[in-house]
Amino acid sequence: MGWIDITMPLHNGIAHWPGDTPFSYTLSAPMEETGSVNIGEITTSTHTGTHADAPFHYHETGATIDALPLETYVGPALIITAIGVQTINQALLETYDLTGVRRLLIKTKTKTDSTVFPTDIPYVTEDGANYLLKKGVSLLGVDVPSVDPLTSKDLVGHHSLGKANIAIIENLMLDHVEAGLYEFIALPLRIVGGDGSPVRAIIKPLESD
């Protein structure tokens, strides 16, 4: 099996965080005008669709997206299924074998509508983040827009993962993939000083020994 795309497609109808800049793609200079090429332009929040958060997103002196190590976003990843959970806490994570896992992707739903922003999502707790640190996880990916409740202002999930030096990827599309071990690539753009970045996330199944 080849590479599987787990990126939310960016289109003009994609849901965005309330108050954020919506995604827009415009063919600003069509070939009929330029005589040789089509040229498009985009506007978007850095947190629309599948994206990586930089620590600077939630901490004034945190590292920006261009300063984060690339190797964090490339390598083996484990996808686990936790459909319908309300919290990603230690009690939940202890039910999975995370031995040797550095990148963890959590599937919490069976269907995603990219045009609808959710009203309630599972979130990461402080003890959940600490447990991932204990297990040696360096990246957490979720299939929802945030690792915190949508109305949260203290952002316990973000800050707890940040203290644990665990990178965050949000809004993955995992509806069409099964739990298991995969090769994973989700590189953020090199946005100097950026608080986050869209990623193109792809996976390929790894054969078990």
Ligand-binding site membership of 59 (annotated) = no
Q: What is the pLDDT of residue 1?
A: 72
Ligand-binding site membership of 47 (annotated) = yes
pLDDT surpassing 70 at residue 209: no
- To the query of whether residue 59 is one of the catalytic residues in this protein, the response is no
Over residues 21-25, the mean pLDDT reads 98
Q: What angle do CA 122, 77, 143 make, to 5 degrees?
A: 25
Lookup: tokens for 194: 């950026």
Q: What is the pLDDT of residue 208?
A: 60
C-alpha separations of 58 from 9, 54, 193 in Å = 25, 8, 13
Nearest alpha-carbon partner for 198 in 44, 19, 62, 12: 44
Catalytic one among 11, 16, 57, 159? 57
Cα–Cα distance for residue pair 187/202, rounded to 1 Å: 10
Cα–Cα distance for residue pair 150/196, rounded to 1 Å: 18
Convert the pLDDT of each residue in 70-125 to its tens digit.
Answer: 999 999 999 999 999 999 999 999 999 999 999 999 999 999 999 999 999 999 99
Ligand-binding site membership of 3 (annotated) = no
pLDDT surpassing 70 at residue 184: yes
C-alpha separations of 103 from 26, 138, 157, 185 in Å = 35, 6, 17, 11
Beta-bridge mates of residue 24? 43
Beta-strand (E) ranges in the chain? 4-5, 24-29, 39-43, 51-53, 74-81, 87-88, 103-107, 123-124, 139-142, 167-170, 180-185, 196-198, 202-205
Ligand-binding site membership of 53 (annotated) = yes
